[in-house]
A and B are shown apart, each in its own frame.
Chain A
């Protein structure tokens, strides 16, 4: 390990450089910021759900945006995902997870919707039984 190596330490990660050079309170600070942001986003989403300030059909979109922001806050401040080289594995694992969730959820939705479409409507099935 050469001296000029610059370590990108994710917030709250165990320090790669000796602890004496680190600000002892930085971990605490990071979690506090994270908690505050998470609380703000949660409170805002409760407010958005009940408010009449926003055009009503826009409420679900607003909630979705807040939820995604919440995920981002959790990833950065609590799960310590950063762009640093230390974090490559975590980022790749996250990408893999997102891809799988997308494939499984998206695929299941498409498949189940398609199966549903092909189902004979309930009334028609009743008629069939009556005809028999």
Chain B
């Protein structure tokens, strides 16, 4: 046994100029950011206010920053694949060797699902749900911090795989037997498994946290049918997380046992059954689709109602549709493997359920349309993302209904038609939703709005670029082009793939616009300042407090008497023509104490994850012990709250007057 397990200098791909260039760039960027932060003396501030923070708003912002950074990485992978396919036609091999191309498509899928879409959605829920519920924090604030840092550990391990070793070459779902030791002896699959195990535990803890928060901690008077729709969708999404993620964790644990200890769960020989992996993967995988898209539906509901100046059309049907999807999402998973050996009767059952699940989604689309119908719609950036979503998502959903027919699936499975379909629901559905939410809640988080002009430019680039990039794939898919081709011989596909490449470049322009939007908004923050706490004439409780909200969210917990509580309150004030008298009987408020336990746990988790990937057993033991000791020390702490004195609350409220207080 060597001290460093399988790790030696051959793990660093020094002969690959593309990888080493990227790694060099990343190292330079990280080192320069770290030294800038250190030289400016920001480290104590960052440590105190962000890294150890257990405030749900701060954690939410960190989730979103993490997701946006990883969006750049995932997009870089995407545009590399598009470029490769644009040039590697006929005899040409393009610029990416096959084993590198395989890692890129695996990393692209893994990163975009687990490290972009999930943190974006969880970040927005973290930021908005407690504010919308009118409470001061989530149920378990320190656990929330642990969740975030575990997700960040998964991200870190995935990025380390770029420089040290390799990533999985198995596709983002790592089907055995290909992902078994026999066919993937390298560390790629181990990087995939351990980083997803760590971030998966984080996600599960988040799910538990949010279910508890929403069920147990609402403002006085907020019954279930008075909850904002975003909270309902967050509840459904987190119920799905709690039920689905243990399946994924158990599944990966079984594959790890196969790879590390010679078990035979999914191997070809000794009674293993690879189809069980496929089955269980999609038991998690299909609910995962709804874990991502339901909160986005909630954001669209909030945006449509707020910017139309109307209450949401069909609130009850929206709630019912959300909860129906929550249950039905567990009845359709076989449609991910129609062609892998099930008989016609089983396929028919799952085909029909897959079509049925489109119905509640259709109900939602009509509700949004009727919300906007007859309303005075303000065409702000979030509304553009919402309308763009509705137009493309219906199309993408229809190709989904098409694919729900097993007979059609036999024709186009494993083709880029499928690739076009799922990008067509996940980009307009999840990503557009998160972008709408990002523009919508940004003034609440930072106290100033985002620049409209650059925001609109970003939207149009994304919208046009998306269609240019993925519509051609439907065509080449119907022409028979399989997914994940490093090169191909059919020259008839090439013009379409060149169009797709142009689309990817237009999306790149959109991403650049978004970066410019942030820079411009920060520079012009004084003109964009939100002094009222309610920049959009909002309807729900988060707009009734200052922007950005204080650590305690609400000086006095709001009393809720109806749906759209803040809007109704404003209407009453308008009717009376009199602002309510501000009450000054402030009470001292207890807020949870900051804790480094999340960061420390994640540090040890990264150490043990890295050690397990490289078979450095002593270091793995050290990491596990360290994490256990950290949690144990945390359990023995005696003081877990800090009291904010009443006069400090009073002082904050005087310094940050809101127009209409509850």
The interface of chain A, by Cβ under 8 A from chain B, is 89, 93, 96-97, 99-100, 103-104, 107-108, 110-112, 114-115, 117-119
* Known contacts A99-B327, A100-B330; is-contact A114 B342 (Cβ 8 Å): yes
Q: Do A108 and B283 touch (CB < 8 A)?
A: yes
Q: Do B343 and A118 touch (CB < 8 A)?
A: yes
Q: Do A114 and B243 touch (CB < 8 A)?
A: no
CB of B333 closer than 8 Å to a CB of A: yes
Centre residue among A96, A100, A117 by max chain B CB count within 10 A: A100
3 closest residue pairs by CB, A with B: A100-B243, A103-B330, A115-B341
Q: Do B243 and A96 touch (CB < 8 A)?
A: yes
CB of B331 closer than 8 Å to a CB of A: yes
B333 — which chain A residues lie within 8 A by C-beta? 107
CB of B317 closer than 8 Å to a CB of A: no
A99 — which chain B residues lie within 8 A by C-beta? 327, 330
In chain B between 327 and 344, which residues have their CB closer than 8 angstroms to a CB of chain A? 327, 330-331, 333-334, 340-343
With both chains docked as a complex, state the minimum distance between the C-beta of B251 and any C-beta of chain A, in angstroms: 11
- Interface 9-residue window, one of B41-49, B145-153, B274-282, B514-522: B274-282
* Known contacts A111-B279, A112-B273, A112-B279; is-contact A103 B343 (Cβ 8 Å): no
A103 — which chain B residues lie within 8 A by C-beta? 330-331
* Known contacts A103-B331, A104-B283, A117-B343; is-contact A112 B275 (Cβ 8 Å): yes
A96 — which chain B residues lie within 8 A by C-beta? 239, 243
A112 to B211, CA, bound (A): 32
Q: Do A111 and B342 touch (CB < 8 A)?
A: yes
A114 — which chain B residues lie within 8 A by C-beta? 342-343, 346
CB < 8 Å neighbour of A111 from B215, B216, B346: B346
The interface of chain B, by Cβ under 8 A from chain A, is 211, 215-216, 239, 243, 247, 273, 275-276, 279-280, 283, 327, 330-331, 333-334, 340-343, 346
* Known contacts A96-B239, A97-B243, A100-B243; is-contact A108 B342 (Cβ 8 Å): no
With both chains docked as a complex, state the minimum distance between the C-beta of B183 and any C-beta of chain A, in angstroms: 20
A-B contact pairs, 24 of them (CB 8 A): A93-B211, A96-B239, A96-B243, A97-B243, A99-B330, A100-B330, A103-B330, A103-B331, A107-B283, A107-B330, A108-B276, A108-B283, A110-B346, A111-B279, A111-B334, A111-B342, A111-B346, A112-B276, A114-B342, A114-B343, A114-B346, A115-B275, A117-B343, A119-B341
Q: Total A-B residue pairs with C-beta atoms closer than 8 Å?
A: 45
A104 to B346, CA, bound (A): 15
A107 to B329, CA, bound (A): 13
B340 — which chain A residues lie within 8 A by C-beta? 115
With both chains docked as a complex, state the minimum distance between the C-beta of A74 and any C-beta of chain B, in angstroms: 19
* Known contacts A96-B243, A115-B341; is-contact A108 B279 (Cβ 8 Å): yes
Kindly list 11 other residue pairs between chains A and B, CB separation below 8 angstroms, not including A99-B330, A100-B330, A111-B346: A89-B215, A89-B216, A93-B211, A96-B239, A103-B330, A104-B247, A104-B330, A107-B331, A111-B334, A115-B340, A115-B341
Name which residue of chain B comes closest to A103, CB basis: B330
A115 — which chain B residues lie within 8 A by C-beta? 275, 340-342
A131 to B330, CA, bound (A): 43
A114 to B345, CA, bound (A): 10
Name which residue of chain A comes closest to B284, CB basis: A104
A89 — which chain B residues lie within 8 A by C-beta? 215-216
Name which residue of chain A comes closest to B334, CB basis: A111
CB < 8 Å neighbour of A118 from B216, B334, B341: B341
A95 to B239, CA, bound (A): 12
Name which residue of chain B comes closest to A90, CB basis: B215
A110 — which chain B residues lie within 8 A by C-beta? 346
A114 to B340, CA, bound (A): 11
A108 to B250, CA, bound (A): 15
With both chains docked as a complex, state the minimum distance between the C-beta of B508 and any C-beta of chain A, in angstroms: 41
Centre residue among A89, A97, A107, A112 by max chain B CB count within 10 A: A107
A45 to B179, CA, bound (A): 41
A6 to B581, CA, bound (A): 37
A110 to B29, CA, bound (A): 52
A96 to B343, CA, bound (A): 29
A97 — which chain B residues lie within 8 A by C-beta? 243
A112 — which chain B residues lie within 8 A by C-beta? 273, 275-276, 279
B343 — which chain A residues lie within 8 A by C-beta? 114, 117-118
Name which residue of chain B comes closest to A99, CB basis: B327
A114 to B239, CA, bound (A): 29
Name which residue of chain A comes closest to B276, CB basis: A112
A112 to B340, CA, bound (A): 11
Name which residue of chain B comes closest to A108, CB basis: B279
Centre residue among B216, B276, B341 by max chain A CB count within 10 A: B341
A112 to B334, CA, bound (A): 11
Name which residue of chain B comes closest to A104, CB basis: B283
Centre residue among A99, A103, A115 by max chain B CB count within 10 A: A115
A107 to B349, CA, bound (A): 11
A119 — which chain B residues lie within 8 A by C-beta? 341
* Known contacts A96-B239, A103-B331; is-contact A108 B346 (Cβ 8 Å): no
B243 — which chain A residues lie within 8 A by C-beta? 96-97, 100
With both chains docked as a complex, state the minimum distance between the C-beta of A95 and any C-beta of chain B, in angstroms: 11
